[in-house]
Amino acid sequence: MDAIQEKILANPKFHELVAKRNRFARTLTLIILVVYAAFIAFAIFAPKMFGAPVLSGSDWAIGLLLGWLVQAFAFVMTGIYTRRANGEFDALSRDVLRN
């Protein structure tokens, strides 16, 4: 290991960065997994409701709309992670590299 790597690994801000980033990533991952699991559980345990039309006579099923909502939710969560990564996490990275 070279001197730069040792200096970075010894920096408390590096450990703060790793801890915050990992905790945030685990939290978002858990939230997304719960949403996906709930969607699948709904499909398994309430298939008639899952396949029911949104409006009487409509070909659009509740499950289809919920699937789109799950995808939109995942997209938003990705945006939340990216915003924090580009803000707080990048700032901490710069602090680590400066010191």
On whether residue 5 sits in a domain, the answer given is no
The answer to whether residue 79 is domain-embedded is yes
The verdict on residue 94 lying in a domain is: yes
Tens-of-pLDDT digits for all 99 residues of the chain?
788 888 889 999 999 999 999 999 999 999 999 999 999 999 999 999 999 999 998 999 999 999 999 999 999 999 999 999 999 999 999 988 887
In a domain, 8, yes or no: no
63 contacts: CB under 8 Å, gap ≥ 6: 42, 43, 50, 51
- Does the residue 57 lie in any domain? yes
In a domain? residue 4: no
Q: Taking the model in full, what pTM does it have?
A: 0.81
Query: What does 19-61 look like in DSSP terms, one character per residue?
Result: HHHHHHHHHHHHHHHHHHHHHHHHHHH-HHHHTSBSSTT-S-B
Helices and strands of the chain, counted as H and E runs: 5, 0
| Angular region, 58: left φ>0, alpha ψ -120 to 50, beta rest | beta
In a domain? residue 91: yes
88 inside domain: yes
> For residue 97, what pLDDT is reported?
85
pLDDT value of residue 4:
85
Which range marks the domain in which residue 72 is found? 17-98
Whole-number pLDDT of residue 77: 96
User: Which residues lie below 8 Å from residue 25, measured CB to CB, with a gap of 6+?
Assistant: 81
Question: What is the number of structural domains in the chain?
Answer: 1
